[in-house]
Structure formats: C-alpha cells, structure tokens
Amino acid sequence: MEIEAFQIAKPTSGQIAILVIVVIVVLAVFIVAARTASKGKKKTKRQQGAGWHTFYQIAKLRNLSKGETEILKRLVEAYGLSKPASIFTSTHILDSCIQRAVRKLSLQEIKGESKEDLINRYYRLRNKVMRNRGVKGIASTRDIPEGAKIRVGVEGFGTFSVGVNKNVDEYLGISVPVLPPGKLVPWNKKKVTGSYWKENDASYNFTTKVTDVVVEEDVHSICLKHTDRIARVQKRRYPRKSIRLPVLFTRVRIVKDGEKKKAVIDNKDSHWGTLIDISVGGCSIETAIPFDKNTYTKAQFELKEDYRVVAYGKVKRIERNPARKMWIMHVQFTKMDKSHKNEIYAILYNYQTIE
C-alpha cells in the first residue's frame, strides 16, 4: 500500500494579518478586564478603610474604651455591616446586633456566672452608646412633642402623670389626671410645676400656670402657658420604663457587730406597694407606708410570670401625692444578681427575654 505525501499550504499574508489582529484584541480585552478588577479591589479597600476609620473616630468621641470598641467591632463583623459606623447612627442596627449576640450566648453552654457577665456587658455597652449620642435638647415647652408623658405638680394637691394632647403656639395641652371619687382640683390660674423626661437625654423641669380648660372633640385638655424657662437636670445613667407590678419591700437595718457593720433584714417591717417604674439602677414604689429617706430596703417582685426578682437598695427621695393619699419612694439599687439586671435590660430595650 502506498502512502501519498501531503504538504501543508503556507498561510497567506491576509490570514497572518487576521491572526495578529485577533491576538491583539484578545490581549487588549484581558488587560482592560485586569485593570478594572484591580481598580475595583483598590476602591473597595479604600471604602472599607474609610468606613472603619469613621467607626473608630465615633467610638473615640463616644468615650468607648479600647475593649468596648473591640466588642462593638466584633458585633459589626458578625452582622456583616458594609458601613461599620451605622451601628452608632441606627438604633435598629445596634439593637439587632446586640440581640443576635445575646441570643447566641444564651444558647451556648457556658458554666458559672460568665454567661451572665458577657450578656450584661453587651447591655451596658448598648446603654453607653445610646447615652452618649448627641441629642438636641429642650429649650422651651414648645419643644415637648405631642403624645409625650410629663409629670405635673400642684401645690397642696399632689403630683400627677399626664399626657400631652396638644402643643400649639397658644398653649401646651395636657390630659386631665384621673382623681379619686369626690376629689377636685381648681385648675383655673393654678401655678404648676412640670417635668419631662426625654429619652436618651435628660429630665427637663419648668414652672408655669394654667390658662384654661378646653374640650375639643370630647378631649378634655388643661392648657398650660408656654415658658422658655426650662432647666435641664443631670441625665440618668440608665433609662426607665413605666410599669405597674405588686412589690413587697422590707426594711434592712444596719447594725454594729463589733467593729464591723452588717445588714439585718427585718421581716416584721414588710409592706406591699406598687412598682410604677424601673431601671437597672433603681425603681419607684408607690405605697401608703413609706420608709424614711436613706433607709435600706429589700424589694421582691415578679418581673414576669414565675420570675421573681430580689433587689437591695436605698431610699433616695420621697414624694407625697395628696390626691391619691399615697407616697412614692425612689429607690437606688445597691445589690442585684446580674441575671435579674439582664432581664430588666431586656424589658427596657424591648428585647426578647432570655429563656
């Protein structure tokens, strides 16, 4: 069998030119794509670097320690935030990050008190971040928003918690407080004191007078004259939340035991009252039998079903409410288990409670 030889034809000059053009085009596309990807990476790195720079600057302005800043950084990374500084500017993002971390911790098996310590650290960090946020102050009663809750006091008649129905140029309208049967307050021209607590800021106190009582669409309003003389008092360390729960409070006596002092719980001197507000730092108790100022006390109450809180504190201030024939004791907590504090934090911030 004979095999015929064959010869490959040489490419023409036109074919060579086309091949060169194709190679040049492919190389050009590759180079452009590589440069675009490189620029994108550099831009992303610059953006990320600028984001973390802003994060650290804000953390410094908020007086966060190095340890607190690192905890917050881990929360940002765990949440996958593209803009790290948003954890300072958005309450929703901050709460979401912390709640996710708290719930993750609650599902882990950690022995001893360390779990409660870690959870408590997250809550305290949240409180510090929010407390140090820049908040526009109140310069006049005209700045108090409708729907806000304020406390007004009338000499000889007591102190009442009311809502703001209306805030117009002519007056600040507040709701008429609920009084016991047969009890009336002659509001017309009465001088009143007011106190408004602005969330994440401070309490603002003012003195004014009643100008009128009006009825509009079945809504009764007491009209207070506007005033620019409004004083900002020291802001609270912890936010408070209104609540109504039965509470048993017991006198704690400090007695000398040699050269030392010890606390003795006097169970014979126990009384029932109503818890009307609470924070991690203290509470207010409405009662007909108050303890004197600077008295130490033990308070017991169910914060939720089958969850009893025991807290020790000191009576810092007492208010008289003649209209209700009751007293309000303002108690500062001096000792409380961290697990109880964490439950109070969860209620204050509307977090899901830890089971």
C-alpha 237/C-alpha 220 separation (Å) is: 35
Whole-number pLDDT of residue 354:
41
Indicate the range of 156-165, 174-183, 224-233, 281-290 predicted with least confidence. 174-183
Residue pair 122/96 in contact (Cβ under 8 Å)? The answer is no
Sign of the Cα torsion 256, 260, 266, 272 reads positive
Q: Where in the chain is the domain with CATH 2.40.10.220?
A: 241-348
Whether pTM > 0.75 for this model: the answer is no
Q: Where in the chain is the domain with CATH 2.30.110.10?
A: 141-233
Q: How confident is the model at residue 355 (pLDDT cuts 50, 70, 90)?
A: very low
Whole-number pLDDT of residue 51:
81
Asked whether the predicted pLDDT for residue 268 surpasses 80, the reply is: yes
Residue pair 170/310 in contact (Cβ under 8 Å)? The answer is no
CATH superfamily of domain region 241-348: predicted glycosyltransferase like domains (2.40.10.220)
Helix 66-79 with 91-106: angle, nearest 10 deg:
90
Q: Tell me: the pLDDT tens digits for 143-190?
A: 999 999 898 988 888 888 889 999 999 999 999 887 777 777 888 888
Residues 6+ apart with CB under 8 A from 354: 102, 103, 106, 119, 342, 343, 346
Query: What CATH number belongs to 141-233?
Result: 2.30.110.10
Which segments within the chain are labelled E, that is strand?
Answer: 149-154, 158-167, 172-175, 191-197, 203-216, 219-224, 230-233, 241-257, 260-278, 282-287, 296-304, 307-321, 326-336
Q: Tell me: the pLDDT tens digits for 237-247?
A: 777 788 899 99
Q: Tell me: the pLDDT tens digits for 33-48?
A: 767 666 555 544 444 4
Section 223-242 average pLDDT: 83
